[in-house]
Amino acid sequence: MSRYFGTNGVRGVFTELTPELALRLSQAFGLWSGKEKILVARDMRLTGECLLSAVKSGLASVGCEVLDLGLCSAPGAELMLKKERGNGLIIVTASHNPPDWNALKFVDKNGITVSRERGEEIEKLMEKAALAKWDEVKPMRKVPYSAEQHAEAIEKTVDLNKIRKANLRLALDFGNGTSALYSDMFKKLAKVTAINSDIDGKFPGRPSEPSEPNVQNLVNLVKQGGYDAGFAWDGDADRFIAIDEKGNFIVGDKIFALSVLLKLRKEGGKSIATTVATSRAAEDIAKKYGAKTVYTQVGAPYLSEAMAKQDVAIAGEEVGGVIWRELSFAKDGPATAVKLMELMAEKPLSSWIAELPQYYNAKTKIHFSKEKKLEIIEKLSKTSKGKVNKLDGIRIDFEDSWVIVRASGTEDYIRIFAEARTKEKAEKLVKEYEKTVLAL
């Protein structure tokens, strides 16, 4: 078992992810990456600069060449990794977590995010990290990140004229995060009203996660009328959600399904990748375009691994993260927004949503101890029949519905999530499996 690594890097409040730990993890990552050129970046969290200093020091102390991007979005940092041909990247960001949290996200030289399993290899090296000789410590370089470079790369992948001609009106909620760095890009492409656009590590406007309750100010703004859509991101700008022109919140599942539609309609593709907890709508659309769906464990690192290994045209997850392989293997929120604008240039967002396969969800969570939750999954794994996927928890697929029972990776819960053609059926499935789990 990993001691520090979670699903996506090492995460914690300041007393858990301390500068000392950041330094030791960075030394180990430096060794793991071959003591070569490593890029580093941070978001705007108050502990970001402090932790970044420890990260830089750790890397340099084992002989790495450190390139510092400074304040940067997560997808922007990953694009820079590719551009600078770095041997690795560490991003100091706690993504959608509360302001007192921070995290280190590690990315390898191929642009693949380091998963819990690969993180264990890095942890083992923590004991072996030896200082470089004094004259082998290399000077650090600043490579200031400019969102303009990322914007240019994004713009090359869409039909800019089509977007500009549509004269879209957008309400943007940057959530005081790094997505605000892209304000100029949106201003060039549409008529924009922005809220929470001051980059601020205290997140004064709203919590970082762009969930429905957290973006009600944006919903209300769009409901006042006069907008084609509302867009919102999380703190490091890899997650993205939208509000349609009528003020309806569009969940991440649907953003991904629309992204699949756009990608396959335009360029075709052999397969798509998504997690076992994502709506079947994406698979339905892929099927329509002759592409198969590769399912992965829940977590962005597994999607980027699938992207690198297989013939996958696009990947995404239910929280509103889409990976566009023409840019990087990172979930790219600003790119997803601009791609969606290309669709909106044809017809209103609500019409696109109406065209998607309609599914309804239900979910619940049951409290169990750490040992008990794993024991239950094990038991359920033995008793489940039919089309069962055991990649991450137990997912059982039926004719036009499915249910997944998973042990939470970070909390002492079993989560049950179901999807069906009607709300009633989804709720019934959740109740049924809740009963099964409680009887185990």
CA–CA gap between residue 67 and residue 39 (Å, rounded): 5
Is residue 55 left, alpha or beta, with left meaning phi > 0 and alpha meaning psi from -120 to 50?
A: alpha
CB of 105 vs Mg ion, minimal distance in Å: 9
Strand-pair category, 37-42 with 249-250: unpaired
Using rule CB under 5 A, residue 332 touches Mg ion: no
The H-or-E segment that residue 187 falls in is helix 183-189
Using rule CB under 5 A, residue 234 touches Mg ion: yes
Range 31-50, binding Mg ion (CB under 5 A): none
Per the CB < 8 A criterion, the answer to whether 182 and 192 are in contact is no
Pattern 239-258, binding to Mg ion, x per CB under 5 A? x-------------------
Looking at the Cβ atoms of 293 and 336, the one nearer to Mg ion is 336
Using rule CB under 5 A, residue 238 touches Mg ion: yes
Q: Count other C-beta atoms under 10 Å from residue 34's C-beta.
A: 13
Looking at the Cβ atoms of 95 and 401, the one nearer to Mg ion is 95
Active site residues: 95
Using rule CB under 5 A, residue 65 touches Mg ion: no
Sheet (strand 65-71) strand order: 10-13, 101-108, 88-92, 37-42, 65-71, 141-142
Looking at the Cβ atoms of 13 and 140, the one nearer to Mg ion is 13
- Please give the radius of gyration of the chain, using alpha carbons only, rounded to the nearest integer: 22
CB of 298 vs Mg ion, minimal distance in Å: 15
CB of 287 vs Mg ion, minimal distance in Å: 29
CB of 321 vs Mg ion, minimal distance in Å: 7
CB of 233 vs Mg ion, minimal distance in Å: 8
Residue 187 CA to chain centroid, in angstroms? Answer: 24
Looking at the Cβ atoms of 101 and 368, the one nearer to Mg ion is 101
Stretch that binds Mg ion, among 142-150, 236-244, 366-374, 382-390 (CB under 5 A): 236-244
CA–CA gap between residue 96 and residue 107 (Å, rounded): 18
Range 379-408, binding Mg ion (CB under 5 A): none
Stretch that binds Mg ion, among 44-52, 62-70, 191-199, 231-239 (CB under 5 A): 231-239
Stretch that binds Mg ion, among 135-143, 230-238, 336-344, 366-374 (CB under 5 A): 230-238
CA–CA gap between residue 23 and residue 237 (Å, rounded): 25
Looking at the Cβ atoms of 68 and 238, the one nearer to Mg ion is 238
Using rule CB under 5 A, residue 275 touches Mg ion: no
DSSP 190: S
Range 93-112, binding Mg ion (CB under 5 A): 95
CA–CA gap between residue 287 and residue 291 (Å, rounded): 5
Looking at the Cβ atoms of 236 and 305, the one nearer to Mg ion is 236
Per the CB < 8 A criterion, the answer to whether 31 and 107 are in contact is no
Range 70-89, binding Mg ion (CB under 5 A): none
Long-range contacts of 425-433 (CB under 8 A, 24+ apart): 425/360, 425/401, 426/360, 426/361, 426/362, 426/401, 427/362, 429/362, 429/401, 429/403, 430/362, 430/363, 430/364, 430/403, 433/403, 433/405
CB of 361 vs Mg ion, minimal distance in Å: 22
Pattern 143-182, binding to Mg ion, x per CB under 5 A? ----------------------------------------
3 state SS of 410: coil
Stretch that binds Mg ion, among 229-237, 294-302, 306-314, 348-356 (CB under 5 A): 229-237
Applying CB under 5 A, which of residues 65, 108, 236, 332 lies at the interface with Mg ion?
Answer: 236
Q: Shortest CA distance to 307 belongs to which of 332, 290, 324?
A: 324
Stretch that binds Mg ion, among 48-56, 213-221, 227-235, 287-295 (CB under 5 A): 227-235
CB of 95 vs Mg ion, minimal distance in Å: 3
Stretch that binds Mg ion, among 15-23, 59-67, 219-227, 228-236 (CB under 5 A): 228-236
Looking at the Cβ atoms of 234 and 317, the one nearer to Mg ion is 234
Looking at the Cβ atoms of 209 and 245, the one nearer to Mg ion is 209
- CB within 8 A of 87, min separation 6: which ones? 33, 34, 36, 37, 38, 109
Q: Can you read off the two tokens belonging to residue 57?
A: 């020091």
DSSP 87: S
CA–CA gap between residue 225 and residue 241 (Å, rounded): 19
CB of 300 vs Mg ion, minimal distance in Å: 8
CB of 43 vs Mg ion, minimal distance in Å: 9
Total of residues contacting Mg ion (CB under 5 A):
5
Q: How many residues does the chain have?
A: 440
Looking at the Cβ atoms of 214 and 401, the one nearer to Mg ion is 214
DSSP 113: B
- The site for Mg ion (CB under 5 A) is made up of 95, 234, 236, 238-239
